[in-house]
Amino acid sequence: QVQLVESGGGLVQAGGSLRLSCAASGRTFSAYDMGWFRQAPGKEREFVASIDWSGSRTNYSDSAKGRFTISRDNAKNTVSLQMNTLKPEDTAVYYCAVARDGYYYTHMDRYDSWGQGTQVTVSS
């Protein structure tokens, strides 16, 4: 079982940037595909980005493409999400999770070992 802890959220103005990090415990982190999701108030949790175990393959939601970049450092057991050109609609709690069935899946039911989340607020 992998335990995940997100950090890096905060308040930023529209057009700004944030870098989220997800620290994983457990020696087998490098074997897992990973993903980032987000959940805004009153909305379902939605897929943002995912990455395979090696870091060579990624997948993004349409809203994240061109603005967000997912990466990982297996030596440090971390997965990151660089978010640029942020918009007010990016405001949400952001979660990282283990992609149980593969990085190419985008539904939350395919992910587990969720972290506690980190709040991102983008002001207009």
Using one digit for the tens of pLDDT, what is the confidence trace for 61-98?
999 999 999 999 999 999 999 999 999 999 999 999 99
User: Is the pLDDT confidence value at 27 over 80?
Assistant: no
Q: Provide the pLDDT confidence category of residue 42 given band limits of 50, 70 and 90.
A: very high
Q: What is the CA radius of gyration of the chain?
A: 13
User: Is the pLDDT confidence value at 3 over 90?
Assistant: yes
Tokens 């405001």: give the residue: 91
For residue 26, the model assigns a pLDDT of 78
Output the 3-class SS for the chain. CCEEEEECCEEEECCCCEEEEEEEECCCHHHCEEEEEEECCCCCCEEEEEECCCCCCEEECCCCCCCEEEEEECCCCEEEEEECCCCHHHCEEEEEEEECCCCCCCCHHHEECCCCCEEEEEEC
| Distance (Å, whole) CA 115 – CA 97 | 7
For residue 67, the model assigns a pLDDT of 98
Distances (CA, A) of 16 to 6, 10, 97: 20, 11, 25
The percent of residues in the chain predicted with pLDDT above 70, rounded, is: 100
